[in-house]
């Protein structure tokens, strides 16, 4: 197995997944979601987990969040094994209903700060208002989620996560349920926000284009159970380069890597 020892040229990663296998047990049945997956995440890096439906991307993200434990391998943060959720790792999901509907936008954003004891009320409110400003929703602080569009709800979910000042933001297809134009705008906003906060990001998607736009690095997973198929550098690409020959060539390469070994109908429809 490849050595992961840090050297002077490669500083120790913030988070490390080493040979991570994840399984679900339902009665007699055991479903293996990922098989011996390894990757590193460095400080201020944007890492994308890309792969077809069912390859275990969400499961990996939940494991990084500490919500499920590997049956094999380990996940470490600063060299220490993750044994449960923690305020340094926060998740943003795809679903628009991740915000309790009875709380205002402001109270939604303040809630994790208060519940985790990270900030007293006045400080939580100050921090919440600041991030709402950053995502352009300060004027909706006293609105309830049902009054917001899908994109606005996702902005609130991102604000709620960023208010925690996490070291690692875990995003599970956060824009997948949005229309194409809103999705593009949200990608742009996410990159602008990231430039301000520069936390590490693990972003799950099954869109090749989104992976190239959002990621510095892409971990490509094979179909069920997910194994690391390749790791690709995407530093060169951003929203400006979508459609350029280099972007298209890299997208083609990824497409080929994803589908070259998987002619089964199941994978072809993923
Ligand atoms: N709670 C669960 N109980 C049993 N099996 C599960 C559970 N959650 C996920 N699985 C199975 O684990 C595998 C990986 O699922 P996961 O949701 O992690 O994949 P994914 O790559 O995120 O898929 P998608 O892109 O469709 O969201 C799938 O076969 C799925 O059916």
Give the pLDDT confidence score for residue 96 in this predicted structure: 80
Q: Identify whether residues 63 and 194 lie together within a single domain.
A: yes
| DSSP code at position 226 | B
Residue 125 CA to residue 4 CA, distance in Å, equals 42
Give the pLDDT confidence score for residue 5 in this predicted structure: 53
- Of the candidates 154, 121, 128, 127, the residue with the CA atom closest to the CA atom of residue 142: 128
Q: Identify whether residues 114 and 223 lie together within a single domain.
A: no
pLDDT digits (tens, 9 = 90+) for 174-223: 999 999 999 999 999 999 999 999 999 999 999 999 999 999 999 999 99
Q: Identify whether residues 145 and 224 lie together within a single domain.
A: no
User: Tell me, what's the ipTM?
Assistant: 0.97
Q: Identify whether residues 109 and 147 lie together within a single domain.
A: yes
The model carries a pTM of 0.91
Cis peptide before 151 (omega within 30 of 0): no
CA distances for 232 relative to 11, 24, 49, 245, angstroms: 19, 29, 11, 17
CA of 258 to the centre of ligand 1 (A): 18
pLDDT digits (tens, 9 = 90+) for 107-139: 999 999 999 999 999 999 999 999 999 999 999
The answer to whether the CB of 222 is under 6 A from ligand 1 is no
Domain membership flag for residue 241:
yes
pLDDT digits (tens, 9 = 90+) for 72-101: 999 999 999 999 999 899 999 988 888 999
Q: Identify whether residues 156 and 189 lie together within a single domain.
A: no
The answer to whether the CB of 26 is under 6 A from ligand 1 is yes
Token couple for 153: 């709800």
Q: Identify whether residues 175 and 134 lie together within a single domain.
A: no
Q: Whose CA is nearest to atom 2 of ligand 1?
A: 24
Q: Domain residues for 147?
A: 96-165
Domain membership flag for residue 141:
yes
CA distances for 136 relative to 22, 77, 155, 193, 210, angstroms: 38, 32, 8, 11, 22
Residue 138 CA to residue 101 CA, distance in Å, equals 18
Task: Answer yes or no: are the C-beta atoms of 71 and 59 closer than 8 Å.
Answer: no
Q: Identify whether residues 138 and 177 lie together within a single domain.
A: no
Domain membership flag for residue 2:
no
- Of the candidates 81, 44, 42, the residue with the CA atom closest to the CA atom of residue 64: 81
The answer to whether the CB of 30 is under 6 A from ligand 1 is no
Q: Identify whether residues 133 and 255 lie together within a single domain.
A: no
149, 155, 157, 158: CA torsion to nearest 10: 160
- Of the candidates 160, 151, 144, the residue with the CA atom closest to the CA atom of residue 110: 160
Q: Identify whether residues 171 and 237 lie together within a single domain.
A: yes
- Of the candidates 212, 215, 204, the residue with the CA atom closest to the CA atom of residue 253: 212
Task: Answer yes or no: are the C-beta atoms of 217 and 232 closer than 8 Å.
Answer: yes
């Amino acid at each position: 197995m490849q050595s992961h020892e840090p050297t002077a040229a490669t500083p120790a990663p913030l988070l490390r997944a080493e040979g991570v296998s994840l399984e679900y047990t339902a009665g007699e049945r055991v479903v293996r979601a990922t098989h011996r997956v390894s990757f590193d995440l460095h400080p201020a890096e944007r890492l994308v987990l890309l792969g077809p439906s069912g390859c275990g991307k969400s499961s990996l993200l939940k494991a990084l969040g500490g919500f499920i434990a590997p049956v094999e391998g380990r996940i470490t943060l600063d060299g220490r094994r993750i044994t449960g959720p923690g305020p340094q790792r926060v998740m943003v999901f795809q679903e628009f209903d991740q915000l309790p509907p009875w709380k205002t936008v402001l109270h939604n954003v303040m809630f994790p700060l208060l519940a985790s004891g990270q900030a007293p009320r006045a400080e939580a409110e100050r921090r919440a208002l600041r991030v709402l400003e950053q995502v352009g929703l300060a004027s909706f602080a006293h609105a309830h989620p049902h009054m917001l569009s899908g994109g606005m709800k996702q902005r609130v979910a991102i604000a709620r996560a960023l208010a925690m000042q996490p070291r690692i933001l875990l995003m599970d297809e956060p824009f997948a349920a949005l229309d194409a134009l809103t999705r593009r705008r949200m990608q742009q906003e996410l990159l602008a926000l990231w430039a301000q906060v520069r936390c590490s990001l693990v972003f799950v998607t099954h869109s090749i284009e989104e992976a190239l736009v959002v990621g510095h690095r892409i971990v490509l997973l094979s179909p069920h159970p997910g194994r690391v198929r390749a790791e690709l550098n995407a530093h060169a690409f951003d929203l400006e380069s979508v459609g350029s020959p280099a972007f298209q060539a890299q997208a083609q390469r990824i497409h080929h890597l994803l589908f070259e070994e998987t002619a089964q109908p199941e994978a072809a429809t993923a």
